[in-house]
Amino acid sequence: MTLPDPSRGAAGERLGSRRAWSGRLLAVDVDAIRAPDGTELELEMVRHPGAAAVVPLLSDADAEDPAVLLLRQYRYAAGGMLWEIPAGVLEAGEEPVDCARRELREETGAEADRIEHLVSIFTTPGFTDERIHLFLATGLRAGAAHPNPDELIEVAPRPLSQALAMIRDGDIQDAKSIVALLYVAGFSLNR
């Protein structure tokens, strides 16, 4: 999928940019742009290297109600524990599918025979260029998880129907997880 280059064309034209802040994971730039209608604006942009997330199916995709590996993970910004799918930030030069495999292994211990790209999404395009690539993992083999020291994670298998009910009931609030689980339920499984 090709997306417009934000430095030219229908997406507008970047006239200049200055780095306002840089950290371990992100940077903040102030971009001067000319919008497609000719209006000149200054926009604060959070620059992010991108990420990958994966829906790990424990049972066959053609099972009546396949089991999904969910995570309960501590998220300071959200004020506590969130239900999520395994995910992580792309390392320099890393392909999204390799990141999905790495994060699945680190956070759950599982290895997948197959990983299929589902869709790529922008998380919050009003102020960040962060894009998350969503995948489906099948043919899982168990192993030992090795989360990063700053990751407080509980692995919790759930039937897909329960995960969908958790979305409906507001228990799953993480956007990437909601999109990926709904995508799998709506488009990927043989129903």
Report the CATH number that the domain containing residue 92 is assigned in CATH. Answer: 3.90.79.10
Going 65 to 83 to 153 to 137, the CA torsion angle's sign is: positive
Residue 180's pLDDT is what?
98
DSSP 90: P
Pair 18, 85 in one domain: no
36: containing domain: 9-47
- Which residue of the set 13, 94, 106, 151 is catalytic? 151
Pair 35, 68 in one domain: no
DSSP letter string, 23-70:
-SS-EEEEEEEE-TTS-EEEEEEEE---EEEEEEBSS-TTSSS-EEEE
Measured between alpha carbons, how far is residue 18 from residues 6, 35, 47, 122 in Å? Answer: 15, 18, 12, 23
Query: Do the domain assignments include residue 4?
Result: no
Annotated catalytic residue 151: yes
Cα 167 from chain centre: 16
Residue 138's pLDDT is what?
96
| pLDDT tens, N- to C-terminus, the chain (191 residues) | 444 555 445 678 999 999 999 999 999 999 999 999 999 999 999 999 999 999 999 987 778 899 999 999 999 999 999 999 999 999 999 999 999 999 999 999 999 999 999 999 999 999 999 999 999 999 999 888 888 888 889 999 999 999 999 999 999 999 999 999 999 999 988 55
Residue 83's pLDDT is what?
98
What is the spatial distance between Cα 43 and Cα 27, in angstroms, rounded to a whole number?
A: 14
Residue 5's pLDDT is what?
52
Query: Do the domain assignments include residue 175?
Result: yes
Query: Do the domain assignments include residue 28?
Result: yes
Number of domains forming the structure of the chain: 2
Pair 23, 100 in one domain: no
Query: Do the domain assignments include residue 102?
Result: yes
Pair 41, 60 in one domain: no
Pair 41, 117 in one domain: no
The answer to whether 153 and 145 have CB atoms below 8 angstroms apart is yes
Residue 190's pLDDT is what?
59
Residue 147's pLDDT is what?
83
Place of tokens 């990927």: 188
Residue 10's pLDDT is what?
66
Residues 52-86 as b/e (b if ≥16 CB within 10 A, e otherwise) read bbbbbbbbebeeeebbbbbbebeeeeeeeebbbbb
